[in-house]
Amino acid sequence: MNDLHNDAASLIGEAEGISRRDLLKAALGTGFAAAVLPVSAETVVKTDSDGLTAGTVNVTVDGYPVPVYRAQPAGKTGLPVILVISEIFGVHEHIADVARRFAKQGYLALAPNLFARQGDPQKEASIADLQKNIISKTPDIQVFKDLDAIVAWAGQNGGAADKLGITGFCWGGRITWLYAVHNPAVKAGVAWYGRLLGEATPNTPKHPVDVAAALKTPVLGLYGAKDTGIPLESVEKMKTELAKGKSGSTFVIYDNSGHAFHADYRPSYVEADAKDGWKRALDWFKQHGVA
């Protein structure tokens, strides 16, 4: 089936004069990263696009077209905006589905390919290769600049600039905390199991715990007690730093979950906690004016 899909895409590209690079961008929101295969197909949630405008748009940042998976109620304007920030695996089927879930709730949901300049995360054979070849080479400052441009694009394309929220998973959870500090226009954030501590590097000079006291935006952290990569000690350190500020941020810890409990395409998925977290996320955004 994949070979047929690839052959068809090649024929379309040749017929319309589309480059291979453009074809890859057009495929945003499809497939899964090689590093997480095989997919747990029996638990994958599939949200249709009925009543939605959904697909890839490009937002130019310093002359570079950043692909963004966009989903929104068809024909609507003045929509609250949600930035959906992916895990290290990029904007694959699950992330696009999450964007459609938000769109079904009335949001303009934007899931950008923030690794576009560094490579294609879906092709890396292992998580180690992905970290080495793409993630470690993606500067936070580049990510923030891309997101700033995407927010500006949203305001010019049906989004309400005063109703901006952000959510992210794993790598995207870390970015959620950081971008909420970077951009004061963000009214609320929901960080799913994003790393809180880390080594300072030229590309990642600060981590959430370093900026927590300065945070003014309320962020809801959804974390798993069994997450071996993000121990509860780091959550406690984050709470201590948050207490020095007045953001109103808080955590929900799921005792029965580890990392990636929302990822319905992986064995780590915990349906009950994922559904509870999703409801809490929607309530959090509504509570803080992102609706």
Q: Please give the positions annotated as active site.
A: 170, 227, 259
**CB-based contact 143:149 (threshold 8 Å):** no
Tokens 């959906």 -> residue: 84
How far apart, in whole angstroms, are the C-alpha atoms of residue 283 and residue 278?
9
DSSP designation for 37: P
Q: Hey, CA dihedral for 100, 102, 105, 108, is it positive or negative?
A: negative
Buried b (16+ CB within 10 A) or exposed e, 166-177: bbbbbbbbbbbb
Residue 280's φ and ψ, nearest 5 degrees, are: -60, -40
Residue 224's φ and ψ, nearest 5 degrees, are: -105, 135
For residue 222, what are the CA distances in angstroms to 1, 19, 254, 284?
A: 37, 40, 8, 12
How far apart, in whole angstroms, are the C-alpha atoms of residue 151 and residue 157?
10
- Alpha carbon 207 to its chain's center: 17
For residue 217, what are the CA distances in angstroms to 102, 141, 163, 166, 291?
A: 20, 19, 13, 11, 16
Tokens of 12: 């379309």
How far apart, in whole angstroms, are the C-alpha atoms of residue 201 and residue 142?
14
